[in-house]
Amino acid sequence: MGAAEGLKSAFSFLTVLPAGSGSIEEMAEHAYFFPVVGAFIGLVSGALGLLLFRLLPAPLAGLLALFSLLLLTGLNHLDGVLDLGDALMLRGSREERLQALHDRSHGVGGFTSLYFLLSLTAVTFLLLREHLFVALPVAEAHAKLSMVMGGCLGRPHSRGIGRRFILGVRRKTRENLALGTAGSFCLALLLAPPALAVSVLFVVLLFSVIWVRYLQRLFGCITGDMLGCMNEISRLLCLFLFLILGESK
């Protein structure tokens, strides 16, 4: 699969757009395109949010902007938050945690985790308002970079889509890490002050390393649900940084 097809497959994998085809392993070889797709998702949702904040009451506009982002991504990573939330709340052995992670039913740990994560994200949308058009592309690009980091650093589970993705990413680990990081940082430099761009990249890279090590200590591996949850948390961290360090304050 060439670079052009890899980009199309990344769009197809990360959004609801039927842009390309190919195996997960082939797409993952070009995971350095993930931040590009993230930037596109952020631009579309940010532009819609900017329009909504001018037409509707702010709380409603913020919720609808977040809903548009989730729809564009096909609600792809929310199940990961539910599954991992249940598994992290379980007090038991590694095997019991993994069993809870793959259980199709969800408990209070998963629903509570998802509720607070989405609530906090919606609040950041509301507080950023007109700055959302700048903050969201940067946040989405770095959220996708965190998944690339997880794939490059993580030990795959014995089965599942996450295993196939991680094995595919590792076929070109250096290329995916270098190009993915460079692309995310360049986008941030274009849209945000240098100090904020550096802070966002540093926090996301640090979080990705710590989170992968923490999850591997608990579960012994990294799964697709964990990568999806990394995406959601990384986005929220980036938006927090825009609130704390950006001009929106």
List, for residues 118-154, the tens digit of each pLDDT value. 999 999 999 998 888 999 999 999 999 999 999 998 8
pLDDT at position 1 is 60
Type of residue at 38: G
pLDDT tens, position by position, 193-232: 999 999 999 999 999 999 999 999 888 889 888 999 999 9
pLDDT tens, position by position, 75-110: 888 888 888 888 888 777 777 787 877 777 777 888
pLDDT at position 171 is 85
Q: How far apart are CA 230 and CA 240, in angstroms?
A: 15
Q: Phi and psi at residue 184, in whole multiples of 5°? A: -65, -45
pTM of the predicted structure, to 2 decimals: 0.90
Q: How far apart are CA 200 and CA 219, in angstroms?
A: 28
Q: Is 74 within 8 Å of 16 (Cβ atoms)?
A: yes
pLDDT at position 249 is 39
pLDDT at position 181 is 93
Mean pLDDT of the 12-26 span: 77
Burial class (CB in 10 A: 0-12, 13-18, 19+), 133: buried
pLDDT at position 203 is 95
Distance linking the first and last C-alpha atoms of the chain = 45
Confidence band for 248, pLDDT divided at 50, 70 and 90: very low
Residue 22 has pLDDT above 70, yes or no: no
pLDDT at position 236 is 95
pLDDT tens, position by position, 158-177: 777 878 888 888 888 888 89
Confidence band for 155, pLDDT divided at 50, 70 and 90: confident
Q: How far apart are CA 192 and CA 179, in angstroms?
A: 20
For residue 156, the cross-strand partners are 222
